[in-house]
Chains A and B, each alone.
Chain A
Amino acid sequence: MTGTPLLDIDGLSLSFRTRTGTVKALEAVTLSLAKGETLGVVGESGSGKSVLSFAVMGISDPAATVTAGRVLFEGQDLLTASSKDLNALRGAEMAMIFQNPRVALNPIRPVGRQIEDVLLRHAGLTRAEARERAVEMLRRVRIPDPQRRANAYPFEMSGGMCQRVMIALALACSPKLLIADEPTTGLDVTTQAAIMDLVDDLAKETQMATILITHDLGLAAQHCDRIAVMHAGHVVEVAPTAELFAAPRHPYTARLIATTPRPGVTLDALEPIPGMLPDLRGTLPPCRYAARCGRREPVCDGGALAAHLAAPAHSVLCARPL
């Protein structure tokens, strides 16, 4: 990491008001991302990865409240920014692609028009120029016959094609940050690889920083410089990819690595993680993993837990790290 980070999430806590209580979906999340860097955010379903990315983009559910923390994008706090300023950033400086691309696009608007909408909003182009750029973007995401495809509707395209359109739409204004939220979920395996390679290539070309949100540790390992592991609203460990796999310090990370299929490991050797994510309503123990952890000791239920550096650039949230 060099210089000021592009994105700096500092002590972010967020909760949802529901009829049955307050759900503490994120607690004291601290992460930063340098320009051009690729960060993987990995965790089980419900660990808070998507909640985190929505909070960064400012598109959280209305029931969500940020209770503490800051999200700085190039020094500007996104949480206190006016919706006008935020709207000027979104789609231009930071963009996002989602899972289920077929429903993430407007079903009754030609895909080219949807890209044009973003360009007209941010790039100060005329209609004709926006049209031209939209087709050019479709070409860059390797959609064959982009001129004709620009007039197509999402229902006329495959899921993989739709995700390419999503990528074209997100990258139309050359953002500095791309958040990819499970971008390959729901696509078949060969399409998954093609989509991820496309994201990689385009990110390298434009020096764009990327956050890859996924439950698939293997996928993150392939594409990311660093990986952050989330569990029940906590970031439990952040480390450079190689180091994380070589020497995980948090018991949950170690378990997660053990559950990830990789060459040379038989299915029998894959161990499931016992227990489930805790109920995030009501009072929670300082370590939200304690109930599932094999290394639990009285010290784990002691006072508040803070992330500490286990090595340079390797932080861990655990009272008894490995």
Chain B
Amino acid sequence: MASSVPRMVGRRLLAALPSIVAVVVVTFLLTRALPGDPAAFFAGPAATPEAVEAIRHSLGLDRPLPVQFASYVAGLARGDFGTSLTTGQPVGAEILQRLPASVELTLAGLVLALLIAVPLGVAAATRPGSWIDHGARVVSTAGVSLPVFFTGLLATYVFYYLLGWAPAPMGRLDLFATAPPTVTGFYLIDSLLARDLEAFRSAFAQLVLPALTLGLFAVAPIARMTRASMLGVLSSDFIRTARASGLSSGKVLFAYALRNALLPVVTTMGMVFSFLLGANVLVEKVFAWPGIGSYAIESLIASDYAPVQGFILTMAILYVLLNLLIDVLYGLIDPRVRIDA
């Protein structure tokens, strides 16, 4: 049975290919639908029509669309995402350098959300009609109504301005800390690898509020799904068998019920990631988090389109990969999927 896992991963990878192709095509089309003329923009306001034409030629914008697409794809294959107008740096390198910040924030938010939502959903499902069940329902409905940029500001006001518990919302480290040497790009991990506890403390303190803001946003859908699926599983026949066999309530609840109940939860994680990656952009802006979201916003304001395009493509590919991960995880939990593959 062990050999079926790599085979399943391979199949899922193949199944994800059309999504990646679609993403590349759409991202390409979005750039070509740009308002205005990138060539004129590059050339500057004082350029002669001939100069604009020359730049258009050098950018390849005068060639037919399929040819432009081919060179775009060829560029992507070489890791060439174009060049940022504002910084003059290659977009690919800039995104790669900022990506770990975004991923660290998103993962921290996700972990927090799971830590809150799954126990909440289980507690609500095991005591239907109790105050904790009603509480979970209110949290679920209220949670999906939260504008994440607003809750982030509110948290900043309360925990930074009023209580002084949190540091200023100014990025990944406070002013006096120095970044640990880059290994993974995740400050929490790198600082520990470098045994720099001061940097770890600073990185952790900076991360708490944005991660909570992001996590709170994902609590609602996960808790709602956990509750519903746990309720379904708890009333199923095999749970009755387990109880009739005298298994301890902990074993029944976790080894039998929860593991089955997590299957639909894992499926909804696709939607949750879609929300999280979107909300990530807003949270990065609120907390001046130097990830790819704030990179995209800065570029948008400067009408610098190559970074925006690179950002959208990166996010989409990240999302496709996360969905792939979800599929694999599902297969690991559910033997029916694994063996069908």
Q: Is A–B contact present in the complex under a CB 8 A cutoff?
A: yes
Given A98-B237, A103-B237, A117-B251, A59:B246 Cβ within 8 A: no
**A109, B256: Cβ atoms closer than 8 Å:** yes
Given A107-B260, A117-B251, A156-B339, A91:B236 Cβ within 8 A: no
Given A103-B237, A106-B260, A91:B336 Cβ within 8 A: no
List residues 95-148 of chain A with CB under 8 A from any CB of chain B.
95-96, 98, 100, 103-110, 117-118, 121-122
Nearest-CB residue, chain A, relative to B257: A106
With a cutoff of 8 Å between Cβ atoms, the chain B residues found around residue A317 in the complex are none
B61 → A minimal CB distance (Å): 55
**A91, B245: Cβ atoms closer than 8 Å:** yes
Give the total number of A-B pairs whose CB atoms are below 8 A apart: 81
With a cutoff of 8 Å between Cβ atoms, the chain B residues found around residue A170 in the complex are 245
User: Is B241 close to A, CB under 8 A?
Assistant: yes
With a cutoff of 8 Å between Cβ atoms, the chain B residues found around residue A103 in the complex are 236-238
List residues 49-92 of chain A with CB under 8 A from any CB of chain B.
57, 59, 83, 86-92
Tell me the complex Cα distance, A155–B244, Å: 21
With a cutoff of 8 Å between Cβ atoms, the chain B residues found around residue A87 in the complex are 246-249
**B237, A104: Cβ atoms closer than 8 Å:** yes
**A90, B244: Cβ atoms closer than 8 Å:** yes
Tell me the complex Cα distance, A169–B241, Å: 10
A216 → B minimal CB distance (Å): 21
**A59, B336: Cβ atoms closer than 8 Å:** no
Tell me the complex Cα distance, A38–B286, Å: 73
Q: Give the interface size bracket for B toward A.
A: 20 to 34
**A155, B336: Cβ atoms closer than 8 Å:** yes
Given A106-B260, A109-B256, A98:B246 Cβ within 8 A: no
Nearest-CB residue, chain A, relative to B235: A61
Chain A, 173-193, contact with B by CB distance < 8 Å: what is the 0/1 string? 000000000000000000000
List residues 249-277 of chain B with CB under 8 A from any CB of chain A.
249, 251, 255-256, 259-260, 263
User: Is B335 close to A, CB under 8 A?
Assistant: yes
Tell me the complex Cα distance, A117–B241, Å: 12
**A90, B241: Cβ atoms closer than 8 Å:** no
With a cutoff of 8 Å between Cβ atoms, the chain A residues found around residue B246 in the complex are 86-92, 118, 121-122
A164 → B minimal CB distance (Å): 14
Nearest-CB residue, chain B, relative to A92: B246
Tell me the complex Cα distance, A92–B247, Å: 10
Name the one of B240, B243, B245, B334 contacting A117, with C-beta atoms under 8 angstroms: B245
User: Is B168 close to A, CB under 8 A?
Assistant: no
**A105, B241: Cβ atoms closer than 8 Å:** yes
B332 → A minimal CB distance (Å): 10
Interface of B is mostly: helix
User: Is B333 close to A, CB under 8 A?
Assistant: yes
Q: Give the interface size bracket for A toward B.
A: 20 to 34
List residues 140-163 of chain A with CB under 8 A from any CB of chain B.
151, 153, 155-156
With a cutoff of 8 Å between Cβ atoms, the chain B residues found around residue A108 in the complex are 259-260, 263, 333-336
With a cutoff of 8 Å between Cβ atoms, the chain B residues found around residue A95 in the complex are 244-245
**A59, B243: Cβ atoms closer than 8 Å:** yes
Tell me the complex Cα distance, A106–B238, Å: 5
User: Is A238 close to B, CB under 8 A?
Assistant: no
User: Is B297 close to A, CB under 8 A?
Assistant: no
User: Is B85 close to A, CB under 8 A?
Assistant: no
**B240, A98: Cβ atoms closer than 8 Å:** yes
**B259, A169: Cβ atoms closer than 8 Å:** no
Name the one of A105, A121, A153 contacting B251, with C-beta atoms under 8 angstroms: A121
With a cutoff of 8 Å between Cβ atoms, the chain A residues found around residue B335 in the complex are 108, 110, 153, 155
User: Is A26 close to B, CB under 8 A?
Assistant: no
List residues 28-54 of chain A with CB under 8 A from any CB of chain B.
none
Tell me which of A107, A108, A156 has the highest count of chain B C-beta atoms within 10 A of its own C-beta. Answer: A108
User: Is B193 close to A, CB under 8 A?
Assistant: no
Given A87-B248, A121-B247, A106:B242 Cβ within 8 A: yes
**A121, B248: Cβ atoms closer than 8 Å:** yes
With a cutoff of 8 Å between Cβ atoms, the chain B residues found around residue A151 in the complex are 1
B: residues with CB less than 8 A from A are 1, 236-238, 240-249, 251, 255-256, 259-260, 263, 333-336, 339
Q: Could you list some 19 contacts between A and B, CB below 8 A?
A: A86-B246, A87-B249, A91-B247, A104-B241, A105-B241, A106-B256, A107-B238, A107-B336, A108-B259, A108-B260, A108-B335, A109-B255, A110-B335, A117-B242, A118-B247, A121-B246, A121-B248, A166-B241, A170-B245
Q: List 9 other contacts, CB 8 Å, given A87-B247, A87-B249, A106-B256.
A: A57-B244, A59-B240, A88-B246, A96-B244, A103-B238, A104-B238, A118-B247, A121-B247, A121-B248
- 9 tightest A-B contacts by CB? A90-B246, A91-B246, A91-B245, A104-B237, A103-B237, A87-B246, A96-B244, A106-B238, A118-B245
